[in-house]
Structure 1
Amino acid sequence: MKKILTLTLALAPMLALAGPSLGQNLVHNGSFEANSLIGGQWTTYKSLSGWTIGNNQIELRNNVAGSAFDGKNFAELDVYGNSSISQAIATIAGQWYELSFSYANRADSNKGAKSNGLGWSFAGLSGEVGKNTATNWTTFSTRFQGTGKLETLSFSALGTSDGYGTSLDKVSVNAVPEPTSLALMAGGLLAMGLVSRRKKQA
């Protein structure tokens, strides 16, 4: 009986983590590295691998008016005017996911907070970030349950349409354990520790 209990406790954390491709980023080209830019270069694009681009294009920079949060490239959506990007992502009904992205305002802008900000939306959720003058990279994340449908992840520039906006980098959507599974995993690890402690005391 003790052996069965020990085996069950040992398997609990692994069962809790079992799920579809946990840790795999479902966003294609989330760090905007598919296009090669040399250091000190910036370029605007009408199309970009993985993303649908708005009418005013997207600007990629490599160590220009800031540096990337992840890799070499990062994006800005206020190009010749406020623009947007989007990408369709398949989700599994009931599966928990985490959306995460990093953003920062331009250090070389004197336009003030009214020029900055990004709007985002995905799977029925939406919000706004960066509507201030902070120039350090900040990471935003939120969790949601999949619908089993293709969901459109989108970002749009907010504020004054003046060519100076908020930068975006390291966009990811990952399958994660559901909250009850995390509790099961924690309980299993705790119980394993107690069993191990009792063995040592014996």
Structure 2
Amino acid sequence: MKIVVLGIMLAGLAGRIPAQNLICNGGFEAPQFGLSTTFTDIPCWHSTSGQKIEVQNKSAGYVQGVIGTQYVELDVNTNSDIYQDIATIPGQRYLIRFWGANRTGSSRSAFRLLWDDALLGTVTRDSGQTTFGRFVTEVVATKTVSRVALAADGPSDSLGDLVDEVSVTPIPAAGSRLGYAYYLPHFADGAEWGSSLSFGNSSPNFAATVQYTVYGDDGAILDPLLNGSLTLAPLASTVIESPRPAALRTGWVKVLSSEPLQAMVIFRSVVTGRLDLEATVLARELTTETVAPYDNVAFTTGLAAVNPGTTPLTLTFIFHGTAGGILATSTLPLGPNAHTSFAIPTKFPLVAERNGLVEIRATDAAGNPANFVPLGLRFTPGGAFTTLPY
């Protein structure tokens, strides 16, 4: 029996650490055997196709399994399936992951991923893709017992799809399927400034539902007309231009998505008689502290910061000179959901005409570390600007 391996792109997990796997025998390592074998059932797994479950072993000369020695083929004699029922919590989001491959000798590989008999997606791969790939998506449970299933959907000819290392893990914070959050810590719209929001769906298999909300400096919605929602097809992208009214308004953007995104904001400065200037800022991660450069000698360093939480926090700034000594220390309160942006030498005159490193730490009312999102920009006297690593 020959094999073509299914190459599926690994979707980004946005730093998540999955909880305990709810799938039993997800690697198909029980029972162990020496050659390919078919079973009516194997521990924890069953089939609705009326065919047995075919378990293959590396030692039989087939494709290498991801972990351990065994994996399942979904096309036994004709297209077949496997399923497992697991205990779930209604409203809880779950991360589904597995590795898949196509048999060599098959012109096309296709299989369906189902949750409670509803189709989550179909993956198709041609004969030229010959390495195992990992597949990732999310789902929200609606029952206390949910069924996850994988079913062959390619040519029904006994040359089927191979599956290994299936897992279903709960994602913290039950609720919306929009489980990926991205933070764009500065948004400038009006006068000479425009901000373009750029979103790309990283999933090669599932459409992404995306919601974006623009908040002002006070934490309230800046303008309802700036907010929106959209659906991006697999690997699709879009750019949303700000309207650029006469008066400048500033804030920040929170983006929620059902699939991993490439999310960024592109700042544009437009001044009559001068070439347009741009800088791109990728979505930033939450942090409790950062250390980054500032330069107010030949340039001007600007800072933006966001408190994405529901309680106030305090930002502490410790400015160091180029030799490492402390030049100035100051604090700045930041309310819930609020945003601030300023030129560092204007806010902190003691470091005007200086350069070095600045430590920024966020704490809550009790003095405990708190999450914030920083962004630094450096401007030339002529108006050109670039992002800094904070």
TM range (shorter): 0.7 to 0.9
Equivalent residue number for residue 62 of structure 2: 65
* Pair 1:130-2:127 in alignment: no
* Pair 1:30-2:18 in alignment: no
C-alpha separation between the residues in 1 aligned to 2:131 and 2:46? 27
Show structure 1 runs of 5+ residues with no match: 1-16
The Cα RMSD (Å) is 2.8
- Verify the 8 A CA contact 2:91 2:141 in the aligned structure 1: yes
> What is the one-letter code of the residue matched to 1:36?
Q
* Pair 1:91-2:88 in alignment: yes
* Pair 1:169-2:164 in alignment: yes
Equivalent residue number for residue 74 of structure 2: 77
Equivalent residue number for residue 245 of structure 2: none
* Pair 1:120-2:113 in alignment: yes
Flag the 1:22–1:141 CA change in 2: closer, same or farther, 3 A: closer
Equivalent residue number for residue 348 of structure 2: none
Equivalent residue number for residue 136 of structure 2: 141
More helix by share: 1
Cα deviation for residue 104 of structure 1 reads 0.6
Cα deviation for residue 22 of structure 1 reads 4.9
- Verify the 8 A CA contact 2:112 2:119 in the aligned structure 1: no
C-alpha separation between the residues in 2 aligned to 1:46 and 1:66? 23
- Which stretch shifts more, 72-81 or 141-150? 141-150
C-alpha separation between the residues in 2 aligned to 1:149 and 1:125? 19
Flag the 1:177–1:165 CA change in 2: closer, same or farther, 3 A: same
> What is the one-letter code of the residue matched to 2:144?
K
> What is the one-letter code of the residue matched to 2:20?
Q
C-alpha separation between the residues in 2 aligned to 1:37 and 1:66? 16
- Verify the 8 A CA contact 1:83 1:157 in the aligned structure 2: yes
> What is the one-letter code of the residue matched to 2:24?
H
- Which stretch shifts more, 69-78 or 129-138? 129-138
Equivalent residue number for residue 335 of structure 2: none
**Given the alignment, which residue of 20, 39, 43 partners 2:37?**
43
More strand by share: 2
Equivalent residue number for residue 152 of structure 2: 157
- Verify the 8 A CA contact 1:75 1:169 in the aligned structure 2: yes
- Verify the 8 A CA contact 1:34 1:49 in the aligned structure 2: yes
The structure with the larger Rg is: 2
